[in-house]
Amino acid sequence: MKRARYYRKLPDKKVQCLLCPWQCVVREGQKGHCQVRRNIHGKYYSLVYGRVSAYHVDPIEKKPFFHFLPSTNAFSIASVGCNVDCKFCQNWEIARRGLKDVPFAKLTPEYIIKYAKISGCRSIAFTYNEPTISTEFNYDVAALAKENNIHSVVISNGFINKKPLQDLAKVIDAYKVDLKAFDQSYYTNIVHGELKPVLDTIVNLKSEGVWTEIVYLTVPTLNDDPLKIKAMARWIKNEVGPDVPVHFSRFYPRYKLKNLPPTPVATVERLRNTALDVGLNFVYIGNVPGHKGENTYCPNCGKPVIRRIGFEVIENRLKNGKCPYCGNKLPGFWEG
């Protein structure tokens, strides 16, 4: 347990959490919306500091990051819980269960850095459940990683307030945002969250200079409207530029949406083409191993410069981040 960083005291020993857009007002002895932060005698505490429910070595492409240190591994760690409740949650076993229901290892930042080094990982990934709600621990790990020349990446729903994000941006290198839809009604009914704060996060990441990639889990009949995808692609292009990679991932039935079929491959192909037609330069297809939409193409000459099958890079022709055919510099964090 550790004192939370983002809250303010209120009368009658209440506190208001300032970490995410819910801004919960929490009475003494109660927990916030995320269920991992508690008011104890008028002071707010994180209940998950150093409590790691899973750790694993993953290819960075699994996150997915396609423009960040390709072909390297990330030491991936998770805690428990989330600040939204997606009906399609892919990691509900740790994201939607309580502290008493998930086994933990008690780890220090030093331990994580040690094992990242032993494992030959170039980065540490905060992933699987929502990292925002364990931000105190993640910040300390990332700060120590930076001192040890190890990068840090965040895999998040983007539902975080500006100040905590700005602080985190000082110690991390990349941030993957799960943009669930470009539609508030979807966020209300399926995600149980809000769209605008997520869009604000994407803009703020750009302002802070953090490498950002966007993932859109395409759920059949619920968020696969090409007109809304066109509007989303236009927003991305206008607000953060055409070079932010966007991944349209195929949905598989999970959690509370087991009644739906997997996303047809033709659907993610159509949405990818829609985003490309709007003018986004790097649009990918996820969860379809071997598809040409997994490859990176030079936006200047159109030739493939990185070929992938699933999470494996088969061929990387970039030279210092440049296309070998036309010399065009591709945006990304290719070395370091």
* Domain ranges for the chain: 2-46, 51-316
pTM of the predicted model as reported, rounded to 2 decimal places: 0.97
pLDDT in tens, 276-295: 999 999 999 999 999 999 99
Q: Which residues contact 211 (CB under 8 A, 6 or more apart)?
A: 67, 68, 173, 174, 175, 332, 333
Tell me what pLDDT residue 336 has.
Answer: 66
Cβ–Cβ under 8 Å, residues 174 and 146: no
Count other C-beta atoms under 10 Å from residue 320's C-beta: 7
Please give the Cα distance from 86 to 100 (Å, whole number).
21
Average pLDDT over residues 139-162: 99
Tell me what pLDDT residue 97 has.
Answer: 84
Average pLDDT over residues 81-86: 97
Cβ–Cβ under 8 Å, residues 156 and 130: yes
What is the residue whose two structure tokens read 């998950």? 48
Q: ∠ CA 193-198-203 to the nearest 5 degrees?
A: 170
**Mean pLDDT computed over every residue of the chain:** 97
Is 70 exceeded by the pLDDT of residue 80?
yes
Which fold, 51-316? TIM Barrel (3.20.20)
Average pLDDT over residues 56-74: 98
Average pLDDT over residues 122-146: 98
Tell me what pLDDT residue 98 has.
Answer: 82
Closest CA to 153 of 128, 183, 188: 128
Tell me what pLDDT residue 335 has.
Answer: 85
* Residue percentage of the chain with pLDDT more than 70: 100
Tell me what pLDDT residue 334 has.
Answer: 96
